[in-house]
Structures are given as C-alpha cells and as structure tokens.
Amino acid sequence: MFENKYIQQRIEKADKLRELGYNPYSNDSKRNTTIGKFLNVNSDVENLEDKRDENRDYTVAGRIKFYRLMGKASFLKIEDESGLLQIYVSRDNLPEGFYNEIKKLMEVGDIIEVAGYPFVTNKGELSLHVHDLKILTKAISPLPEKFHGIQDKELRYRQRYLDLIMDKEVRKTFHTRSKVISLTRRFFEDKGFLEVETPMMHPIAGGANAKPFTTHHNALGVDRFLRIAPELYLKRLIVGGFEAVFEINRCFRNEGMDATHNPEFTSIEFYWAYKTYKDLIKITKEYFEYLFEHLDLPKVLPYGDVKIDFNEFIEIPLIQSLIEIGGVPADIVEDKDKIVSYLIENKVAVKPNLNLGQLQGELFDEYVEAKLINPTFITEYPVEISPLSRRSDDKPHLTERFELFMAGKEIANAFSELNDPLDQLSRFEGQMDAKDSGDDEAHEMDEDFVNALSYGMAPTAGQGIGIDRLVMMLTNQHSIRDVLLFPAMKPVQNEINLHDEEEK
C-alpha cells in the first residue's frame, strides 16, 4: 500500500523523528486559540508597536500548506478549519540545534503546533513569529500540487478527506449544509413541532413509489426494507395524538444515480394536524425566509447559467402548467389517446398501459419541469400519481397536493393527507394492480396503516423537503455528489477483490 518512493521517504523522516526523541504522532497539543481568532484579534495591524507585539503570546496548530526554507529561517503557511496563517521560523529563536534537526524532516502536509507573537511583515501580512515548534502529525502521503488541486472528480468523491484538505470552498459548502440542517430543526421546533425518530428498517416498502433496498433481520428471521420514506410511521403518530411532528431522516431508494439522485439521501418530513396543503405553502415560504435571514444570503442566487429569484413564489395547477408553461395543446391534456399520440409524434417514449394521470405526469416531466427556474408550487396533481394524497372536494379526480420546483428540480412534495381508510385501501389496491402490470415502483399494500386510519386521523397536512437538493440550490452546486460528504460510488478493483475474497 505504501510502496511509492515519496511515501517511503516520508516514512523514513518519521522514523528519524523517533530516533531524535520526537513522537511524530504526539497527542499533547497545547493549542490555546484558532487561526481565525488569532487573525481577528490582531486584525488592527496599525496598533502593533514597531509592527510586532512580543507581549502577546499565542499557540496555534494547523496543517502546513506552504513551506519555503531559507537556510537560517523559514516561512510557512499553516491552516486549520478557521483560516490560513503565515508563520516565521528562525533558527535563532528556537532551542540550540533544534531548527537544523527539524527543518528537513518537516514538509507540506504535516500538522504542526507553533507558539509565538504577532508581527507584520514588510509586505504588510499579519504573521506569527515562532519561538516554539512541534510536529504533531507526520503526513506520509504527499498532498496534490497546490496550484491545480484535485482535478479528478472521482478521486475527490472517493477521497473526500483529501478534497477537504485542498479546497476551502468545499469545506464552506459543507458548513452551509450543516447550518441548513441546524436551522431547519430550530425553525420547526420554534413552530411547536416535536422531533421524533421512526424505524429505518421497514416490514413493508412504503411511504413513496420507489424500489427499496432489502436486508435480512437475523434475530427475527425475516427480510426488511431500508426506509424509502418515514411518511406512514409519522402519520401513525398523528393518529396516536401528536399534532405536529417532524423527522430529519435518511432514506434509501435502490434506483438510478444522476446529478440529482443518490440512493441514500436526507430530507425532512413533517406532519401537521388540523392543517391543509395551503397552510404548508405558507409555512414553506416562512421557512425559506428564515433560511435566507440566518444564512445571510441574497434573495437572488446564481445557479449555473440562471438566477433563482426567491422574492416571489409562483403557484400554478399542474394541468394549467402543461398549457401555459409547457406549450402542450389545451385540447389534448384531458384525453389519454391524444396524449399518447402527441408524445409519439414528438418522439417521446411512452408506455401504452399508462392511465390518464400518469400520462399527464409524463407531459409535465417532459415539457414543464426543466422550465421552472424561480420557486414554483405546482398544485392539483392527478389522483393516479398521488396514492397518499387527499382528493379535492371540488375536483375528485385531483388531489390537494403540491410539489415545489426551482432551477428545474423538485425540492419538496406536500399534500393534505388522505385520512379516509376505505379510500386509502382502494388506492393501495390500485397500486397493487399497477405492480401486477409491471410497475415495480408501485406502492405496497400496508394493511396496518389502513388499520391505523380506521381509528381516525385528524385532518392533516404533510410535507417532505429534500435537504440535499436544497443545499445544491443554496451553494450553486450542480451534482448531488458535491453536497454529500461521502456519495455512493462504483467500487474500485481492490474493493471488488476484497468482496470476492470474503465470499470465498
């Protein structure tokens, strides 16, 4: 594993440090401040008398990102999570003989600790004048060449630790992601929602139309499905008497991977008794206001070649969007045969056994979705593609549902919940017929959930928001892999070989 000659040279330097009595992997750091705090406290460089202040002493630590050796002295730049700092190391300011011992055993990538006082160089850069230095961690693998960083995206995702070392903008993206999750939790708690946890291994693959991952529960002797969505468990809690619940959850869908899909993803789902999907539209707008305020972001964000304007959220029914946004002829959108003919004429592949609602969904996917740049609530989805949504009282063939889109991507899905147990049973039976007809993503029958509804669930509205895609929008990232610390990757050969050995 460590046959590379440059790695061998570094291993030899680590051994040399041990010979000299220095532990290359010590654990006795005396750091008393971060680089960011040091830079902030001493930012007013004009007040440093003679451009230095020997009465202030700091101990900082970080990874060496730059090292220029100049005989009797050296300039280095070290980095911790909070910032990058230039340090000046002189032979005459260290114990006798130490500098000559250490200078060639220390290199870019090593993590060191230094103590010293602030001063300003002739070029005006705030720096640390070092009087004490210690190697905390010897890096035996060299870092990529700093000016080009990691050009191979596959390597960036596989070795995220290296990506984070080399690119502070990557670290910034994941700081933003962490803040979004934290703010999301705080927002819903402040609204009176209770955070709950539900199972990640389900006896029935339910809560959404998707293919599940299957595992085996040895103690129970049964197969289980990794959670597709927490929806049906959260609604059971509403039946039980909780009136506002949420879960920031990990979900798993055994489907394709592309720029916006990863088989393991994060979302928040929340359910709110005595509310409708109209209330969810209102709280969603409030949620985005809250995020923008606390993330200190402008209301117009760049996203590739477009700009997303969050100053106004649009609302439009799905059928209307087909005509007004998608340019689909108005005389075909309610006719199954005409839709099929239209799709065929436009060279769009279509399954002949799809029902009207599914075909309207196909039209939307093909002609509307990519055009929804600014935040848009698409409402009134057909019943056939909304197996868990409540029917509209005025338009029984439609549901009280919306999906929120921006930059051509779905961000949220919400609806007034179906709480009629007989209607729900009928919908599940329809889904089972679809499965028998070849739809391997159709929803499974969940008799216990129907049984729960039979005890009475208060009128409820529920919503799911995709955290990964939301972070993509807020950070101008165009692949979901860029907002996941460790995205799913095709195994490399040595991982395949290891698996084969285990199978034997």
Q: What is the pLDDT of residues 53-77, one digit of tens each?
A: 889 999 999 999 999 998 899 999 9
Query: In this predicted structure, what is the pLDDT of residue 51?
Result: 79
Q: How far apart are CA 165 and CA 499, in angstroms?
A: 29
Q: pLDDT for 110-130, tens place per residue? A: 999 999 999 999 888 999 999
d(CA 112, CA 106): 9
pLDDT band at 427 (very low <50, low <70, confident <90, very high): confident
Give me the amino acid identity at 197.
Answer: E
Residue 8 forms beta bridges with which residues?
A: none
Model confidence band, residue 50 (pLDDT cutoffs 50, 70, 90)? low
Say whether pLDDT at 346 is over 90. yes
DSSP classification of residue 45: G
Q: With b meaning 16 or more CB within 10 Å and e meaning fewer, what string describes 259-271? A: ebebbebbbbbbb
Q: Which two tokens stand for residue 131?
A: 């009087």
Q: Please say if the pLDDT value at position 438 is more than 70.
A: no
Q: How confident is the model over 195-204, as a mean pLDDT?
A: 93
pLDDT over 70 (residue 149): no
How far apart are the C-alpha atoms of 340 and 349, rounded to whole Å? 9
What is the secondary structure of 91-136 as a DSSP string?
GGGSSTTHHHHHTTT--TT-EEEEEEEEEE-TT--EEEEEEEEEEE
**Distance (Å, whole) CA 233 – CA 220:** 20
Look at strands 83-90 and 126-137 and give their pairing. Answer: parallel
User: Alpha carbon of 487 to those of 156, 169, 491: distances in Å?
Assistant: 10, 18, 12
Q: What band does 45 get if pLDDT is binned at 50, 70 and 90?
A: low
pLDDT greater than 70 at residue 503: no
Q: Work out the average pLDDT over 216-225.
A: 93
Which residues lie closer than 8 Å to 100 by C-beta, 6 or more apart? Answer: 91
- Supply the DSSP symbol for 443: P
The whole-number pLDDT of residue 347 equals 95
Name all domains of the chain by residue range, CATH numbers in brackets.
Answer: 5-143 (2.40.50.140), 165-326+368-503 (3.30.930.10)
CA-based nearest residue to 474, from 281, 313, 282, 297: 297
- Pairing relation of β-strands 314-317 and 376-379? parallel
Instruction: State the average pLDDT over residues 477-489.
Output: 95
Mean pLDDT for the chain overall = 92
Q: Name the residue with higher pLDDT: 437 or 77.
A: 77
Q: How confident is the model at residue 170 (pLDDT cuts 50, 70, 90)?
A: very high
Q: Which residue has the higher pLDDT, 152 or 234?
A: 234
Residue type, 377: F
> Tokens for 41?
């406290």
Mean pLDDT within 328-355: 94
pLDDT score for 502 = 52
Three-class SS state of 161: helix
Q: How many Cα atoms occupy the beta-carbon half-sphere of 454 within 13 Å?
A: 8
| Whole-number Å distance between alpha carbons of 223 and 161 | 35
- Sorting pLDDT into bands at 50, 70 and 90, what band is 444? confident
DSSP state of 237: H
pTM for the structure as a whole: 0.90
* Segment 271-286 mean pLDDT: 98
Supply the DSSP symbol for 464: E
